[in-house]
Structure 1
């Protein structure tokens, strides 16, 4: 998994009815875009994330 600053993360619920979590990558601490990522979730919480199989990245698009 590779991310850059500004990418969005979606963490899917592991159980039926569990809500998804959404956040933005603020900092990439691994080499060449690899985890861990410092993420600000939509509820304002920030944390270090080592994404698992329930996580997907929505890559930011550049306006060039």
Structure 2
């Protein structure tokens, strides 16, 4: 997994009925974009160092910006 500052981390629940966690990458620990990442979580506005697991995927800032511009 390689990320950039501004990309979004999404952690899917591993349990039925569990919640999905979402946060924005605010700092990279490695210049090549590999984990760990410093993430600001939107549910509690805290920053943590995060090591993604198999239930995690990225949403890239460019995709989010393109989606916002395409919406009416």
TM-score of the two chains, using structure 2 as the length reference: 0.81
* Count of residues in Structure 1 that have an aligned counterpart in Structure 2: 63
Q: CA deviation at 1:13?
A: 0.5
- As a proportion of its length, which structure holds more strand? 1
Unaligned runs of 5+ in 2: 67-72
The equivalent residue for 2:49 is 48
RMSD value over aligned CA atoms? 1.4
Unaligned runs of 5+ in 1: none
- As a proportion of its length, which structure holds more helix? 2
Kindly provide the CA deviation profile for residues 25-54 of structure 1, in whole angstroms up to 9, marking residues without a partner as x: 000102400000000000201100000000
Say which structure, 1 or 2, has more relative contact order (CA 8 Å, 6+ apart). Answer: 1
TM-score of the two chains, using structure 1 as the length reference: 0.91
Moved over 4 A (4+): none
Please give the alpha-carbon distance, in whole angstroms, between the structure 2 residues aligned to 1:50 and 1:60. 19
Q: 1:38 aligned to 2:38?
A: yes
